[in-house]
A = this chain, B = another copy of it.
Amino acid sequence: MPDKILDAHSSDPVTMGWMEGLPPAPDKRLAWARADHMRFPTHRYAYSRMREFLPTARVSRGTGSIWQLPAALRDDIDAITFKAMDDGRELTWAESLAVNFTDAVLVLHRGTIVYERYLGATRQDTPHIAFSVTKSFVGTLAEMLIGEGRLDPQAPIADLLPEMAGSGFADATLAQVMDMTTALDFSEEYTDPSSGIGAMSNALGLTPRAPGYAGPGDVYAFLPTISKSGGHGERFTYRTCNTEVLGWIVARTEGKRIDQVLSERIWAPLGMEQDADFLIDSTGMPFAGGGLNPVLRDMARFGEAMRCDGYGNGGQIIAREVVAAVKAGGSKAAFAPAGYQWLKDGSYTRQWWIMPGNDGAFSARGIHGQAIYVDPAAEVVIARFGSHPIAANTAFDPTSLPAFRAVAEHLARG
């Protein structure tokens, strides 16, 4: 990270000229081997081109017709103001786009696109990495299987995945994995290559391995090495390895890789407008915790279906009970000790974040600014891609969460 972080304008990937030119100038070339796809400011280009850096599986939309989203763009959104949660300064929605290093953002009100903006290297038809927004897709798939009686939320992981019997996950229940109340020796510290998430990223092949690397070569080999630390079910701790285990369980239950399950259960039936790209490890296992690359409108479609209790593209695609389980929220008592400063009184369940307050809003959230924000009361869905210099949501929550809320309240007023 440079001492002085470039702002959104100075780090715009088009201005920077990354990979432009035929051939690109040597200093404009980005390389996976240097992890340019995972560091600022070059990641501002790469997040919209992940398949050009890494092997990917396709999440197929099939050949059905597209779920058309009507559009009636409004010119009053940009001027909406809100107060930043950290320093209380007033910002407009338009100003917040650069502050949050926004790559693309779309607002649906009652299913109609009222605002849509593409910046930097991202366009309507550009898949962009969704990072941990991926988790909410996987959590929803798992809840669908539970609703169908094919998975028991109280089953211990060792019963669902015998390969995990010797790991710290063994006596955790599926529900605990889905709600991330497992107690594991796994650190989610993005800036520390020796953390759990760093080791998992190496196993996945997402980032270059050190010379002589002798660690696990894929996610299946990595997950059983995670040990227990404390008691399961007591408190929420955000750890991506939970979702990798969950993805494995979904795949094992369906007898298919997650990319295919996601295509059959959500992508095709919801009439997504584009295929999505899914980062995979060397076994072809998709990176369930953060590897999905959809286009913005398709992320919004998923949010809209969740807002509408699973109804979308003219049909009940996700069972009402599945969405109800998400909307009911998780344990606030389990969530509170995690100390999320900007999400006090929130909760986490089925791989979704429940927002503080009484409006029932919930969100899928990914590092560097990825989000689906669903406010059923306001009949609003917001989908956003970002490439913020800092991974952690805490870096941009203060200028994002009140912005989302202000837009929802504005639209709810009519």
Contact = CB atoms under 8 A, between A and B. Distances in A.
Interface of A: 19, 22-24, 29, 31-32, 49, 51-58, 60, 62-63, 66, 125, 127, 218, 220, 248, 251-252, 255, 257, 273-275, 280, 282-285
24 contacts: A19-B283, A19-B284, A22-B248, A22-B251, A22-B252, A22-B257, A22-B285, A23-B218, A23-B283, A23-B285, A24-B283, A29-B282, A32-B55, A51-B55, A51-B58, A52-B56, A52-B284, A54-B55, A55-B55, A58-B127, A62-B125, A63-B125, A63-B273, A274-B275
Contacts of A56: 51-52, 56
Contacts of A58: 51, 127
Contact of A280 (B31, B52, B284): B52
Nearest to A60: B125
A204 to B, nearest CB: 13
Contacts of A284: 19, 24, 49, 52
Contacts of A52: 55-57, 280, 284
A275 B275 contact: yes
Contact of A53 (B31, B55, B220): B55
A216 B23 CA distance: 13
A58 B257 CA distance: 22
Contacts of A280: 52
| Copies of this chain assembled into the complex | 2
Would you call the interface of chain A mostly helix, strand, loop, or mixed? loop
- Which 4 A-B residue pairings sit nearest by Cβ, starting from the closest? A23-B220, A22-B251, A52-B55, A23-B283
Contacts of A24: 283-284
Contacts of A19: 283-284
A283 B52 CA distance: 9
A283 to B, nearest CB: 5
A406 B55 CA distance: 40
Contacts of A55: 32, 51-55
Contacts of A62: 125
A29 B283 contact: yes
Nearest to A19: B284
A282 B248 CA distance: 32
Contacts of A29: 282-283
Given A52-B55, A63-B125, 4 more contacts: A22-B251, A29-B283, A31-B282, A53-B55
Contacts of A53: 55
Nearest to A54: B55
A29 to B, nearest CB: 6
Contacts of A127: 58
A48 to B, nearest CB: 11
A127 B220 CA distance: 27
Nearest to A18: B284
Contacts of A32: 55
Nearest to A51: B56
Contacts of A57: 51-52
A252 B24 CA distance: 12
A274 B62 CA distance: 9
Contacts of A257: 22
Contacts of A274: 63, 275
A250 to B, nearest CB: 10
A68 to B, nearest CB: 10
A323 to B, nearest CB: 27
Nearest to A29: B283
A296 B254 CA distance: 28
Nearest to A253: B22
A251 B58 CA distance: 26
